[in-house]
Amino acid sequence: MTLHSTNYFETLILAAPDCPVGEGTVPPKPGTVAAMQYEKLIAAPYSRTSDDLLFEVFAERNGIPEAERAAARVAFFSKGQPCLRSSPLVKTYGWGVHHDSAGRVAIYGVETAQYRDLIERKSLAKVAGMRSQRPGK
């Protein structure tokens, strides 16, 4: 069975071009995907990969017991999953996602010096976050 990955390496996912806010904003509704991703990334930057983050949020939201998580993770990644380019943090809340050389992730508000520094780093690939709507709509 092929496992799919959402991990990037040495990459910055930029806030979506149509993101409605101009600074990193805390997602307001507890328990949402956005809030759970935000809490994990703020509490422990560069401690997990994109795959780790996406699966942890999925497992917690779906009440998957710890004992079943290894098998559930294989099942989860046996199908392609949307990467963090489609995260509400990138699309709606003004965050960029930096993936380091080991694929671990951290977020930076678009207004921060760290975000601007990452944009200027020549060795870092940059990819745009996904738009909320198609252009022209």
- Structure confidence by residue, pLDDT tens digits, 25-36: 999 999 999 999
Question: What's the pLDDT score for residue 71?
Answer: 97
Find the helix or strand (DSSP H, E) in which 56 lies.
helix 50-61
Whether residue 137 is predicted with pLDDT greater than 70 in this model: the reply is: no
Both tokens of 97, joined, read 């996602």
- Whether the Cβ atoms of residue 129 and residue 13 lie closer than 8 Å to each other: yes
Q: What is the pLDDT of residue 3?
A: 87
Burial (0-12, 13-18, 19+ Cβ within 10 Å), 54: buried
- Distance CA(52)–CA(80), nearest Å, equals 14
Between CA 18 and CA 65 the distance in angstroms is 37
The domains of the chain are located at: 11-128
pLDDT of residue 136: 57
Question: Can you spell out the DSSP letters for 6-35?
Answer: ---SSEEEEPPTT-S-SS----SSTTSHHH
pLDDT of residue 135: 59
**Amino acid letter at 132?**
S
3-class DSSP string for 32-52 = CHHHHHHHHHHHCCCCCEHHH
Cα 49 → chain centroid: 9
pTM value > 0.85 = yes
The model's pLDDT over 66-123, given as tens digits with 9 standing for 90+, comes to 999 999 999 999 999 999 999 999 999 999 999 999 999 999 999 999 999 999 999 9
